[in-house]
Amino acid sequence: MFGILNFMFEQMNLFGPRVLTVSGMTQYLRALLESDEILRDIWVEGEISTLSKPSSGHIYFNLKDNTATLRCVIWRQNAVRLQATLETGMAVEVHGNVSVYEAGGNYQLYVDAVRMAGEGYL
């Protein structure tokens, strides 16, 4: 993965400032996030807010705590396997990987599993 990152910077002028296009910077950040071992396999705890279930079958929501918000998406193939129906206000733990949605320039958690907060600790 770092080969891609190095290649991007090798293409820049060696004597001038490092200047990336918006696409280039977004791709660079995506590669950084996707190369991080922790962010490729992570559980995050929070409260569901702004839940959206469009006809595509995907599920979009924010996961929040007292001071921060994280955008999340569950693709249809993972959404159909959920054991519980998600609702705004639920305290959950979600598993997935962090990446960048390039068209929007946002980092988000791509969720593949959800459990109620505290489940499995007893």
pLDDT tens digit sequence for 79-106: 999 988 999 999 999 999 999 999 889 9
Tell if the pTM clears 0.85, that is, is over it: no
Beta strand spans in the chain (E) = 42-52, 59-64, 69-74, 91-101, 106-116
37 pLDDT higher than 70: yes
In tens, the pLDDT along 50-62 reads 999 999 999 999 9
Pairwise pLDDT comparison (63 vs 11), residue with the higher score: 63
Decide: 33 and 49 in contact? Cβ < 8 Å: no
Cα three-residue angle 6-2-63, rounded to 5 degrees: 120
120 pLDDT higher than 50: no
7 pLDDT higher than 80: no
Note the pLDDT of residue 83: 85
Note the pLDDT of residue 122: 39
Note the pLDDT of residue 121: 46
